[in-house]
Amino acid sequence: MVSLAAVIILVIVPLPPPDSAVAERLLPPSGDHPFGTDQFGRSVLVRTLWAARAGITAAAVTTVAAGLLGMLIGTLSALANRWADQLAARLTDALLAVPGLLVALVVVALLPESAVQVVLAVSLGLFPLMIRYTRAVVLPLRSADYVTVARAGGAGWLRILIVHILPNAGPLLLSYLATIFAWALVNITALEFLGVVGSPADALWGRLLRDGRLYLVEAPWVALAPTLALILVVSVAAFLSESKNARP
Tell me what pLDDT residue 7 has: 54
Q: What is the CATH number of the domain that holds 89?
A: 1.10.3720.10
- Decide which of 179 and 50 is more confident: 179
Give pLDDT tens digits for 28-76.
Answer: 888 878 888 888 888 888 888 888 888 898 999 999 999 999 999 998 8
Q: What angle do CA 160, 161, 166 make, to 5 degrees?
A: 125
169 belongs to a structural domain: yes
The pLDDT of 15-38, averaged and rounded, is 73
2 belongs to a structural domain: no
The secondary structure of 96-121 as a DSSP string is HTS-HHHHHHHHHHHSPSSHHHHHHH
11 belongs to a structural domain: no
57 belongs to a structural domain: yes
- Decide which of 147 and 22 is more confident: 147
80 belongs to a structural domain: yes
CB atoms within 10 A of CB 158: 9
- The total domain count for the chain is 1
Q: Which domain holds residue 69?
A: 23-243
For residue 77, report the phi and psi dihedrals to the nearest 5 degrees: -65, -45
16 belongs to a structural domain: no
Give pLDDT tens digits for 193-230.
Answer: 998 887 777 888 999 999 888 888 888 889 988 999 99
198 belongs to a structural domain: yes
- Residue 146 φ/ψ region, left for φ over 0, alpha for ψ in the -120 to 50 degree band, beta for the rest: alpha
1 has a pLDDT exceeding 50: no
